[in-house]
Structure 1
């Protein structure tokens, strides 16, 4: 499939599938010619919108893919696991369901894996949707049913409108679908996707903005709830005030409070975090203790010597830090990996001049000090200065061939 023939330019803002002045029927005829070219040649033709071209390139136009719905029990289980998403369903219904009824569209709210969990709208459009297999519990990622707004919005991680023959499956060519992902600030992952879908003659560019604005309001609501949760976690840590250096985080590593540490708004914590000792990038060796809604990460210098560092110098450059039962991979730039490897080879340490003499392309001591400052922040507690040295035994993995 030729990438060179694809027009890949995209607008910086929202990109509706058609303008308010275009005739939907004429637009569908033009797009059908593009779709047939793609189907017959397996090459994306000139004229396909960038978002559609990228989607068509991610698949082959062979056959009509079908997604089978999961069981009712599995669907209920997914709803129970999607409590954050469920908390904004009333808001989304309030903002979008009146428009859906008026336009003859349905409102679909799917989870982070592309399973529609809630579907609302007029009975006629719901029956037509059922005929396509677009039902609660039937996953609609691109890999399941080809190009569609829900699946493509998940791939692109931005609002998408797919019109008529831009859909990969021919039985969807009479539809227009507008989707926007809900990006969860807590886990920094898509929480779900909101979709309005209906007959292509109901297509309007304003729908894209309306769905986007409703999703934006839902995200703001979730962010407000997260801020309140962080304040509750901070209050739960009050008994630890004055008990040395510590950082208080929620279950995703968002910082609610810090005493004695200069950290950003979030630090890395393992998803399977449990009480005990571990090494945390940007902080160093800590002892984790559970509190209501999160964790207190206490400084734990006594176990710092147990940390081992394994350096990988070729892309993807990273260091592996093993401490107790935890192993952490910390991505590094190639320059930073090179510096850590040098320090591992010189356990007594290197001063600024010695590092300059061993690193290519470093023009001044200021550059060395700036790089070391960034590196020390990245590898909290593992690098000392005057001279620069590692505080734990280190080995250098041979460069891959």
Structure 2
């Protein structure tokens, strides 16, 4: 997508949006939705500052897992204007790597120093913030950025998940000049994020790894292998794509937690809003190492096509661990 010229270019569409005109059909859906959220938050495209904090752990599990991967990426992009950033689940940048080391000295602190917060509610539409909001790979080109200071750049960003809990714990983002577009970048950023996720899993305890293996085995036995998303776990709070609002999620979480706390086979019908419903099916599982857990399959019904999600947790867990 170009950034100049034409009635449907991001520049023209963005101008129409800021003037209060409809731009549906001219802008990609996730970008338009993010612009709307940014405007509702009262953000200004001319805004140049972001929240900054030095209250983060520079040696966290995420940083330790990501460090070797970031080093490899820096070597791969050596000599280029690539700006690689690692952010936590709140959008705070924890680490930066540059293809050209001197680039760090030429960029403004907001683009070169860890500690700035790029969550959408502060920075508007940007790679890190959009990846956190959409919970998936996102690309933002030129004038698709809400802030004018970022409109000469493009980025590809994807969430990093804790494979055990399914929660999004960070974001890996490639930032680069708009002219440096490469179709291979989205694939590369996803593979790098998967490497970080594997390294995070290696830091988990033997009990956690055993429970995850048992969960995945039970998932395959349940016949959901064809519908899985490459084994990626998705937290209950992320089931917005299936039309589940916050109230629905809370109802499901409470019922699933009750099933997990009572490790036996059960089937429970749970009514949801908008005429939808869900059947929760729980089954106890036990690994070879003796770790016990519960797998819960949620079968959504109603206006949308059925969707199957599986959950696993220790029987004593206070809340639903993860869905896939």
Give the TM bin, normalised by the shorter chain.
0.5 to 0.7
Shift in Å, 1:151 = 0.8
1:142-221 equivalent positions in 2, closer than 5 A: 142-221=120-199
Structure 1 unaligned regions, length at least 5: 1-17, 234-249, 266-314, 337-370, 381-401
- Higher relative CO (Cα under 8 Å, sequence separation at least 6) belongs to 2
1:357-372 equivalent positions in 2, closer than 5 A: none
2: distance between equivalents of 1:321 and 1:217?
A: 31
Task: Pick one of 20, 45, 51 that aligns with 1:68.
Answer: 51
Shift in Å, 1:202 = 1.4
Task: Pick one of 257, 270, 285 that aligns with 1:334.
Answer: 270
Conserved? CA contact 2:63–2:94, under 8 Å: no
2: distance between equivalents of 1:28 and 1:133?
A: 31
Task: Pick one of 8, 16, 19 that aligns with 1:40.
Answer: 19
Q: Does 1:222 align with 2:158?
A: no
Shift in Å, 1:83 = 1.6
Per-residue CA distance 1:21-65 (angstroms, 9 max, x = gap): xx6666999211111111111644422112212222322074144
- Residue 56 of structure 1 corresponds to which residue in structure 2? 35
CA gap of 1:46–1:222, structure 2 versus 1, over 3 A, is: same
1:94-113 equivalent positions in 2, closer than 5 A: 94=72, 96-113=73-90
CA gap of 1:212–1:59, structure 2 versus 1, over 3 A, is: same
Number of aligned residue pairs: give it.
238
1: distance between equivalents of 2:203 and 2:16?
A: 48
1: distance between equivalents of 2:213 and 2:282?
A: 24
CA gap of 1:30–1:68, structure 2 versus 1, over 3 A, is: same
2: distance between equivalents of 1:202 and 1:187?
A: 36
2: distance between equivalents of 1:131 and 1:253?
A: 43
2: distance between equivalents of 1:333 and 1:39?
A: 46
Per-residue CA distance 1:231-258 (angstroms, 9 max, x = gap): xx4xxxxxxxxxxxxxxxx4x9946889
1: distance between equivalents of 2:153 and 2:256?
A: 50
Shift in Å, 1:170 = 1.0
- Residue 307 of structure 1 corresponds to which residue in structure 2? none
2: distance between equivalents of 1:141 and 1:59?
A: 11
2: distance between equivalents of 1:183 and 1:110?
A: 12
Instruction: Determine helix, strand or coil for the equivalent of 2:78.
Output: helix
1: distance between equivalents of 2:123 and 2:271?
A: 44
Conserved? CA contact 2:8–2:27, under 8 Å: no
Structure 2 unaligned regions, length at least 5: 220-249, 262-266, 273-278, 285-293, 295-324
CA gap of 1:132–1:200, structure 2 versus 1, over 3 A, is: farther
2: distance between equivalents of 1:79 and 1:28?
A: 46
Conserved? CA contact 2:65–2:196, under 8 Å: no
CA gap of 1:115–1:375, structure 2 versus 1, over 3 A, is: closer
CA gap of 1:44–1:83, structure 2 versus 1, over 3 A, is: same
Q: TM-score, normalised by structure 1?
A: 0.50
Shift in Å, 1:264 = 5.4
Q: Which has the larger radius of gyration?
A: 1
CA gap of 1:41–1:149, structure 2 versus 1, over 3 A, is: same
CA gap of 1:26–1:100, structure 2 versus 1, over 3 A, is: farther
Q: TM-score, normalised by structure 2?
A: 0.61
1: distance between equivalents of 2:11 and 2:80?
A: 24
Instruction: Determine helix, strand or coil for the equivalent of 2:77.
Output: helix
2: distance between equivalents of 1:135 and 1:99?
A: 21
**C-alpha root-mean-square deviation of aligned residues, in Å?**
4.0
Instruction: Determine helix, strand or coil for the equivalent of 1:58.
Output: helix
